[in-house]
Amino acid sequence: MARVVIVSARIGAGHDGAARELDRWFSGRGAHVVRADFLDLLPGRLGELLCGAYHQQLNTMPRSWDWLLSALGTPALAGAARRFAGLATPKMRELLGENTDVVVSTYPLATHAVARLRRSNELTAPLVVYLTDPSVHRLCVSPDATLTVAPNETAARQAQALGAGRTLVSRPLVAPTFRPAAGITERLRLRLAFGLPHDGPLALVVAGSWGVGQIGQTADDLLATGLVEPVVVCGRNEALAERLRKTGHRHVFGWVDRMPELMRACDVVVQNAGGLTTSEALATGLPVLTYRCLPGHGRANAAVLHNDGIVPWVHSPSELTEELEWLLRRPVKAAG
């Protein structure tokens, strides 16, 4: 039985979501899968502090993320980030041991920690880098990877330009529970279960597991179009959920365990980062819009999805109205 080690990170939900589906894919083919969180491999509380700093930055200084990602694209700071990743080497070495057959990384710093072991010949198992975003940053790529898996042709070209070797394009892995509604009866049943209106179009507003970004403004803009009722998922951001409820929004959720069903109850998804949730919505057969997107990776993803004709990037309330008018004229997709 092959031993596959998948290394992710609990920074947002995208990296862990990809790891979970890779686990399911490998396990279904008879592999023994071990999953690890890169943050837990760093010394002391360093991983916890890194995660907290990133979360705080997106909440309080989101525009600084643009600057930081640009800076990390320079050779000097990219090198510093790779050296930082090397702090996880001792625990990574212990995790991988001598009987690992394949290592899969869904998180950039984990990629560089494993690559360090490959360069020193301490690891001979192949390293597969699984890219979780439609766009590719320099830190996501390592020339020491045996294979880089990209979610689209644009990402593959970007990865190769940044030094990736063998590259494979594969559509994002999404849980099979994300599927189109079987018909109007299922849609109505799910709306009843979630306490949603039985008639009228619903726009599902999502902002990742942390609920970061201009979510309140997005909900207000959607309501102002007069075309849809916003259904807002705030993730673990309970403070945001409470603020939205106090300002009169009627359909506000915190963390949702039944996201596939909630998507099937709605008509369109409005998101701000372009990662895992976008893939899940498309698998559900829902149209997706990018609106008030996050700086940094959010804008980079939005540009790729827009230019590839997959998800329109909406820049203003008037454009939002126009896109919704067009989308809501399209027939609802149904399974089978």
Please tell me whether residues 22 and 136 are part of one structural domain.
yes
On whether both 154 and 296 belong to a single domain, the answer is: no
C-alpha distance from residue 274 to each of 13, 191, 254, 304 (Å): 12, 25, 20, 9
**What range defines the domain where residue 49 resides?**
3-169
Q: Indicate the residue among 141, 169, 197 that finishes a domain.
A: 169
Q: Are 12 and 110 in contact (CB under 8 A)?
A: no
Give the domain CATH number at 235: 3.40.50.2000
**Across 45-73, average pLDDT:** 78
Name the pLDDT band for 152 (thresholds 50, 70, 90): very high
**pLDDT tens digit sequence for 292-310:** 998 888 899 999 999 999 9
The predicted structure's pLDDT at residue 333: 47
Number of domains in the chain: 2
Average confidence (pLDDT) over 91-99: 94
Burial class of residue 98 (count of CB atoms within 10 Å of its CB; 0-12, 13-18, 19+) = exposed
The verdict on residue 334 lying in a domain is no
Same domain, 220 and 127: no
Q: Is residue 177 part of a domain?
A: no
**CATH code for the domain of 89:** 3.40.50
87 with 234, same domain: the answer is no
**Among 169, 192, 223, where does a domain finish?**
169
Convert the pLDDT of each residue in 219-254 to its tens digit: 999 999 999 999 999 988 999 999 999 999 999 999
Please indicate, yes or no, whether residues 206 and 292 belong to a single structural domain of this protein.
yes
Same domain, 63 and 128: yes
